[in-house]
Amino acid sequence: MFLRQLGWNDFFAKQLLDGIPGRVASSNREHFLIWTEDGEVEASVRGRLRHSSSEYSCEWPCVGDWVVLRETAPVIDRVLDRKTKLSRKQPGKQMREQVLAANIDVLFIVSGLDRDYNPRRIERYLVLARESGERTVVLLNKADLAEELALNLDRILSETGRLAPGDPVLALSALSGDGLLALPALLAPGETAALIGSSGVGKSTILNRLLGQERQRTHVVRAADDRGRHTTTSRELFVMPGGWLLMDLPGLRELQLWADPEQVDGSFGDIQELARHCRFRDCTHTSEPGCAVQSAELDSGRLANYRKLQRELAYLDRKSDVRVEREEHSRWKAIERPCAAIPSAIRLEQSRRIRPKDQS
Ligand code: GDP
């Protein structure tokens, strides 16, 4: 395989000092399938990377990553800086980022035109998309059901278009194949796309159709673990006819946002534009007099969702700050502990000297 056909470019080449570069085609906890110039390699994570990160941390390799393998063994030593990353909040109580996929050029947000169609959910995905891919395309799948469900497709297309100004919105049917050919035309050879969307919207059907074969035949990879036992892992990256790559992210069930609160504003440009005309600069668009957002004829669901997403990300931001502070606190405690024998006045003086300015 030629690396450029897998997406290798100067951005990654500049970061490579030694070792063998490869792209993560699938990951299963500690086992990775890596595509290199010499073919497919099963690799694990060891050494410094193994000790400094864990399966859920941002430094851990994920599908789409470019990594550096040791010359002497199938071991991942380093993850190269990512061009883009698709993250979510780790499932559960942890207030941490989990990177699910990296280096995506085009993010396909898939929504079904059946019961799944929900503009609010599309808005949520659009916030996530701002950091995840270089370009975003919204796909409204199951267009074959439009007549049966008495849907006004033109109205839905223009409504969705208003949510994603500048991004293409396409209606298609993965089942009949109608509209599907528009997708490959959006990607150049070597570019990577990913499909995200709720379960049941037709992501696997789209992938299989575009791949031109049943994925099951190619999907499951048997990999040997450290003890020589065989585990099965799902391939997540596919080379499509035409030479572009498509990522399938089956694990994306729970979509809790992980993004900068400012990403919400970026996705709601219409509200931002209106807000410039509010009487008060710090208007919250709730009950202030002279609020241009409130007086505009804006879809009330959109405004409510804007507030909800902002609250959600602000909460995450606050909580992760609390966590950072807590971690910082225990770090300082650990540093100070060996000083227990030193009289407290000196200890205080010492900690003042070594603490960063904003902590003193
Ligand atoms: P995923 O969970 O997003 O991967 O969804 P799947 O590809 O497994 O599809 C879920 C269901 O929707 C399956 O029963 C598909 O046959 C059906 N489906 C997928 N695409 C279409 C479509 O374009 N039209 C219709 N009517 N059904 C579809």
145 CB near ligand 1 (under 6 Å): yes
Model-wide pTM > 0.85: no
15 CB near ligand 1 (under 6 Å): no
CA of 205 from ligand 1 middle (Å) equals: 6
Dist. CA 62–CA 87, nearest whole Å: 11
320 CB near ligand 1 (under 6 Å): no
Q: Using pLDDT thresholds of 50, 70 and 90, give the confidence band for residue 356.
A: very low
Q: SS3 of 108, please?
A: strand
Q: Is the confidence at residue 252, as pLDDT, over 70?
A: no
Q: Using pLDDT thresholds of 50, 70 and 90, give the confidence band for residue 300.
A: confident
Percentage of the chain surpassing pLDDT 70? 74
Best residue among 147, 205, 246, 255 to mutate for probing ligand 1's pocket (most ligand atoms within 8 Å of CB) is 205
For 261-297, what is each residue's pLDDT tens digit?
Answer: 677 777 788 888 888 899 988 888 888 889 988 888 7
DSSP 24-84: EEEEETTEEEEEETTEEEEEEE-HHHHHH--TTSTTS--BT-EEEE-SSSSEEEEEPPPS-
Question: Which domains does the chain show, CATH number per domain?
Answer: 3-81 (2.40.50.140), 91-248 (3.40.50.300)
198 CB near ligand 1 (under 6 Å): no
Q: Supply angle C-alpha 336, 340, 344, rounded to 5.
A: 90
For 309-355, what is each residue's pLDDT tens digit?
Answer: 888 777 777 766 555 655 655 655 555 554 444 444 434 344 344 44
For 73-121, what is each residue's pLDDT tens digit?
Answer: 899 999 999 999 988 777 666 777 778 899 999 999 999 998 778 898 8
Closest ligand 1 atom to Cα of 173: 23
Other Cβ atoms within 10 Å of 334 Cβ, number = 9
